[in-house]
Amino acid sequence: MTLLSRINELFKKELKVVNIGITGFRDDLKSLKVPVIHVEFRPPAGGNTKLLSILKKLK
């Protein structure tokens, strides 16, 4: 299996979507009966940008 064919494999599969962000996009997909799961996103590190950049550096 070549790496590239992962995109072509997707073309032959049913899309199963995880929606992270705008709820409206989830609603549109639902209205089309597309399987979709919505993540209740919360800004990491309590939204503290300083802490976030420190955490990023630690990774």
Partner 1 sequence: MVKEIVIKKNSFFDSVMLMTISREVKNIEGIKEAVVVMATDFNKETLKNVDMINDEVLEATPNDLVIAIKAENEQSIEVAKNKVEEMLTKRTQAQGSEYNPRSLEMALQMIPDLNVALISVPGIYAAEEAKKALEAGLHVMLFSDNVSLEDEIKLKNIAREKGLLMMGPDCGTAIINGVPLAFANKVKRGKIGIVGASGTGTQEVSSIITRLGGGVSQVIGTGGRDLKAEVGGIMMTMGIEALIEDDETDCIVLISKPPAKEVMERVLEKIKNTDKKVIVHFIGADLSFAEKYGLETASTLEETAFKAYEACYGKIAKLPDEEEVRIDIEKIKKSLSANQKYIRGLYSGGSLCDEAMVLMKKRFPRVYSNIALTEEEKLPSKDQSIQHTVIDMGDDEFTRGKPHPMIDYTQRVERILKEAESEEVAVILLDVVLGYGAHKDPSSELVPAIQKAREIALKKGNNIIFVISLCGTYEDPQDYRKQKEELERAGAIVTTTNKRAVEIAMAIVGD
> Residues in the site for partner 1, rule: CB under 8 A?
2-8, 10-11, 13-25, 27-29, 31-32, 34-35, 37-44, 46-49, 52, 56
Question: Min. distance of Cβ 14 from partner 1 in angstroms?
Answer: 8
In contact, 33 and 15? CB cutoff 8 Å? no
Closer CB to partner 1, residue 27 or residue 54? Answer: 27
Closer CB to partner 1, residue 20 or residue 54? Answer: 20
CA dist., res. 6 & res. 14, Å (int): 14
